[in-house]
Amino acid sequence: MMNNAHELISDTYFIELFENLTLDSDYFDHIGHVRLAWLYLHQYEFDDAMVKIADGIEEYAISLGATNKYHVTITNAIVKIIKQRMNGEDNWQSFINLNSDLVDDCIKVLLNYYSEEVLFSEKARTSLVEADVREI
* pLDDT tens figures, 78-134: 999 999 999 877 888 899 999 999 999 999 999 999 999 999 999 999 999 999 999
The predicted-structure confidence for 20-53, as pLDDT tens digits, reads as follows: 999 998 888 889 999 999 999 999 999 999 999 9
Q: What single DSSP character describes residue 130?
A: -
Per-residue DSSP letter, 26: G
The full DSSP string for 46-103 is HHHHHHHHHHHHHHHHHHTT-TTT--HHHHHHHHHHHHHHHTT---HHHHHHHTTHHH
pTM: 0.89
Domain locations along the chain: 4-126
Closest by CA to 72, choosing from 29, 123, 107, is: 123
